[in-house]
Structure 1
Amino acid sequence: MEHRSLFKRASISLTRTATQSRGTQFHDMFEPCDTIGRGRTNIVVRYRYLKCPFEEVAAKVCYCPKLSDEGTNQPEVEANILKKLSHQNIVRCQGIYYENPHCYLVMDLLAGGNIIEYISAKHRYKEQDARRYIGEILSAVAYMHSKKILHRALDPENIMMSTTQEDAIAKIIDFGCAVVTSGRRRTVATKVNPGLYSAPEIFERKEYVRASDVWSCGLILYELLIGSVPVTVDKVEGEKEEDQESRLRQAMLNAGPVDLWSTEWQESGVTYQAKRFLRTILVRDPESRLTVTGALQSQHISRRGAYGTFLHETHLKLKRSDEASR
């Protein structure tokens, strides 16, 4: 199709020559539809091809008044990382375009919404659904780690579903915080702002390790099974972002081991197998935490079959959480 060849000519390759394509007029190729997401420094907009209006993409729109000839500005770094990855559970990057003062990181459109939105729209929700989704996420994380890439921002908002259909698959998005480790190093010393799904070692200001991504996967599964996360802080109107981060850091540092045997968990219907699996991932010491390979090989993830109950109460909690976030 014609728009395919246009993309081939206009999109940025991952070399210094990529910067020579900055004159490409993005809006000569795409028409905006609506805003589908917002980040701290960008928005995500749904676009359609002018040459093929039935085909749509998602574009992360970033303000980039100054561009680096070495490809070191953040959108180019993210595009370079995404171009290294080819996995069914990772969003595909189609190209990066420049129209001063903005750049447009173009990716496949994932119509199912984030994983919480998707589950909230389901008529029924079972533990085996959560098991499948986290298995797909872990598979993508294992692949990233094999490419020496750490995501560093795994949370439900960065897990999108491919479609609204029952057989939709989970895909990891937003590699804006991702880094590539060098040589044999499996850690990075560069700091990342901790969030609700960050590992304890990040709140302790230690290096980010592969196990830190695994903890985030564990917390995502925790929420998919019980409808909440173990540690949180209430928002205070007018509070500065750094003050809220400070309160979250203190709450995380004061938290003990994750409790999977409370009354809430006992009444949830979650199986013992799922709780035992979570217990091996949500270990505060990263050295003792289950590796992503170990998680994929665990009986809970690798076992085939339909064991697991309907999670009615969790489903209601996730629906309420989704409604509150809108």
Structure 2
Amino acid sequence: MGNSFKKAHGLKGSASKGSKELAFKDKYTLGKELGSGAFSVVRLGTSKVPVAGTESRDFAIKVIQKASLSEEDLQGLKQEIEIMKEIEHRHVIRLYEYFQDPKEYFLVTELVEGGELFERIVKKSRYSELEARDCVKTILETMAFLHERGIVHRDLKPENLLLTSKTDDADIKVADFGFAKHVAGADADHALDTQCGTPGYVAPEILKHNAYGTLVDVWSIGVIVYIMLGGYPPFYSDNQTELFKLIKKGLYQFHPKYWEHISEDAKDLIRNMLVINPDHRPSCATLLKHAWITHDEDTLSGRDISGSLAEMRAWNVKRKFRGAVNTIVAARRMSNAIGGATGFGHHTEPGDEAAAEATEGAAAEN
């Protein structure tokens, strides 16, 4: 589409083809704040004129302060927009158009009002493997779609799995393509080398400074599925360096106290995802053929895993608190941390009994 960043002024144009060159203020009215990040705030926006590609008039508008962006951040924003412009999938947050004025960039994206997937799960009174399986299947299908098009997300985590509405528990949207990257060519699985992601979800090959590709997303999904079923993370340490050691060695276990009510098929899916060597880790397309994913609904509906909800609620509270203190890991800070520098900061995973017991048990067995 030919839109590019200029060093001083940034991006120009719109994500929708053929739209008139109207200023942002001529097309949208900004409303209440919906969220905020290190360099931006997301606000409710209402369009004054029709927006190509949708009948909606309400949007989530990401407002980014130009002055807060380094050249590296600017290039990352360009990359995020270029990738989001390409994607039209019902389970991916859509970018409709984007603008700039002298001080700010404005990204007009699809508004979803269902909140985070995990927030919905912890409010349930009953929870079955069928509900978990349906969510996991949607995530795998969506990521298979992206991977087939050479797009790696690189920051899959609970915060980036959103629900479209307050009534539908399965209509998931994958969000935040700030670290997404294109891979192509015969060696696409080893095309990237930047150290980036979020502690606890980052794949071991990234921590080991190895070249990588789409399969880092499979590892992250494996961590998410583990939490979704067991209620706590597979890798836990109060110390960032120790956490990375556990991930690089793949030290985790299915602690009987918390996993005895989870089916072997579900555990096997996780084992297939959390394979240290990415060359032996199956793709999302392959995992869609796994026995747990293809199991009949009646059987999975009868597998009550409500016992995991208490642990998940405790973990979720601590996750949200940590998220309020620590923003997403910038690529340059992740690189420093993996290299052994202290600038990355002291990271604390959920300190609940479940996570501690699980990781201690895994370390003892290994």
1:30 aligns with 2:28: yes
Tell whether the 8 Å contact from 1:92 to 1:108 is kept in structure 2 after alignment: yes
Tell whether the 8 Å contact from 1:75 to 1:103 is kept in structure 2 after alignment: no
1:224 aligns with 2:228: yes
1:15 aligns with 2:3: yes
Amino acid at match of 2:25: H
Tell whether the 8 Å contact from 1:76 to 1:96 is kept in structure 2 after alignment: no
Deviations 1:156-208 (A, max 9, x none): 10111111113541111100100011333313123314521111111212123
Look up the match of 1:286: 278
Structure 1 residues 98-109: aligned runs within 5 Å = 98-109=100-111
Residue range with higher mean Cα deviation, 131-140 or 24-33: 24-33
The match for 1:262 among 250, 256, 271 is 256
Look up the match of 2:244: 249
Look up the match of 2:264: 272
Tell whether the 8 Å contact from 2:59 to 2:109 is kept in structure 1 after alignment: yes
Structure 1 residues 178-217: aligned runs within 5 Å = 178-186=180-188, 187-217=191-221
Q: Name the count of aligned residue pairs.
A: 299
Deviations 1:90-120 (A, max 9, x none): 1111111112221121111111111111212
Aligned-partner Cα distance in 2 for 1:87–1:193: 23
SS in 2 for 1:230: coil
Residue range with higher mean Cα deviation, 200-209 or 171-180: 200-209
Aligned-partner Cα distance in 1 for 2:315–2:42: 22
1:302 deviates by 2.4
Tell whether the 8 Å contact from 1:62 to 1:75 is kept in structure 2 after alignment: no
Q: Which runs of 4+ in 1 moved over 6 A?
A: none
Given the superposition, is the C-alpha separation of residues 115 and 66 from structure 1 closer, same or farther in structure 2, using an over 3 Å criterion?
Answer: closer
Aligned-partner Cα distance in 2 for 1:255–1:215: 11
Deviations 1:99-151 (A, max 9, x none): 22211211111111111112123343211111111111111111111111110
Aligned-partner Cα distance in 2 for 1:92–1:39: 19
1:64 aligns with 2:88: no
Tell whether the 8 Å contact from 2:24 to 2:99 is kept in structure 1 after alignment: yes
The match for 1:92 among 91, 94, 109 is 94
SS in 2 for 1:233: coil
How much identity, in percent, do the aligned residues show?
Answer: 26
Amino acid at match of 2:82: N
* TM-score, scaled relative to structure 2: 0.73
Given the superposition, is the C-alpha separation of residues 295 and 76 from structure 1 closer, same or farther in structure 2, using an over 3 Å criterion?
Answer: same
Tell whether the 8 Å contact from 1:194 to 1:203 is kept in structure 2 after alignment: no
Tell whether the 8 Å contact from 2:116 to 2:158 is kept in structure 1 after alignment: yes
The match for 1:174 among 173, 176, 183 is 176
* TM-score, scaled relative to structure 1: 0.81
Residue range with higher mean Cα deviation, 216-225 or 14-23: 14-23
Amino acid at match of 1:311: I
Given the superposition, is the C-alpha separation of residues 62 and 74 from structure 1 closer, same or farther in structure 2, using an over 3 Å criterion?
Answer: farther
Deviations 1:218-276 (A, max 9, x none): 11111100111111233xxxxxxxxx6445324434552x312533211xx21121112
Look up the match of 1:152: 154
Tell whether the 8 Å contact from 2:61 to 2:108 is kept in structure 1 after alignment: yes
Look up the match of 1:43: 41
Aligned-partner Cα distance in 2 for 1:27–1:306: 52
Amino acid at match of 2:100: Y
1:304 deviates by 3.5
SS in 2 for 1:215: helix
Amino acid at match of 1:227: G
Tell whether the 8 Å contact from 1:24 to 1:98 is kept in structure 2 after alignment: no
Given the superposition, is the C-alpha separation of residues 44 and 184 from structure 1 closer, same or farther in structure 2, using an over 3 Å criterion?
Answer: farther
Amino acid at match of 1:281: M
Aligned-partner Cα distance in 2 for 1:202–1:28: 44
Aligned-partner Cα distance in 2 for 1:100–1:307: 58
Residue range with higher mean Cα deviation, 285-294 or 32-41: 32-41
Aligned-partner Cα distance in 2 for 1:292–1:315: 26
Aligned-partner Cα distance in 2 for 1:282–1:67: 35
Query: Pairwise CA RMSD of aligned residues?
Result: 2.9
SS in 1 for 2:177: coil
Amino acid at match of 1:288: H
Runs of 5+ consecutive residues of structure 2 not aligned to the other structure:
6-10, 15-19, 51-55, 322-366
Aligned-partner Cα distance in 2 for 1:25–1:143: 34
Aligned-partner Cα distance in 2 for 1:23–1:88: 27
Aligned-partner Cα distance in 2 for 1:16–1:286: 34
